[in-house]
Amino acid sequence: MAYLLIKAALSGVIIAIASEVARRWPGAGALIVSLPLVSILAMIWLWRDTADVQRLADHSTATFFYVLPSLPMFLAVPFLLRQGTGFWPALGLGCALTAVLYLAMVFIAPRFGVQL
């Protein structure tokens, strides 16, 4: 249980730091959250928990392919905000777009030999 709490606390600290930095310097906050810190932590935790090379390789590959459908959200949300859409609707639409693209990835990727 202590191990789970340490993992959660460390992950939460990174998010808190990024949000505090972003309040002062939006670009620097964006840089922090764009770093694959969560992915790196997940790989570290997975390696520590399993030491399974294949599982870690599969996780890393799937992470790459799941990042791709999330990227358009970071263009859609600012576009909608600049068009006068409120924050919550813009965020909701961006998340909905991402969900649709995730579903598309799940169905399309296997056709190209990618196992997620």
Q: Tell me: the pLDDT tens digits for 46-62?
A: 999 999 999 999 999 99
Predicted structure pTM score? 0.74
- Token pair for 5: 């709490």
The proportion of the chain whose per-residue pLDDT surpasses 70, expressed as a percent, equals 100
* 96: in domain: yes
* 85: in domain: yes
User: What CA–CA distance (Å, rounded) separates 62 from 33?
Assistant: 19
* 40: in domain: no
* 31: in domain: no
- Domain residues for 84? 53-116
* 10: in domain: no
Number of domains in the chain: 1
Do residues 104 and 69 touch, judged by C-beta distance below 8 A?
A: yes
In this structure, how many other beta carbons lie within 10 angstroms of the beta carbon of residue 1?
5
Q: Tell me: the pLDDT tens digits for 55-96?
A: 999 999 999 999 999 999 999 999 999 999 999 999 999 999
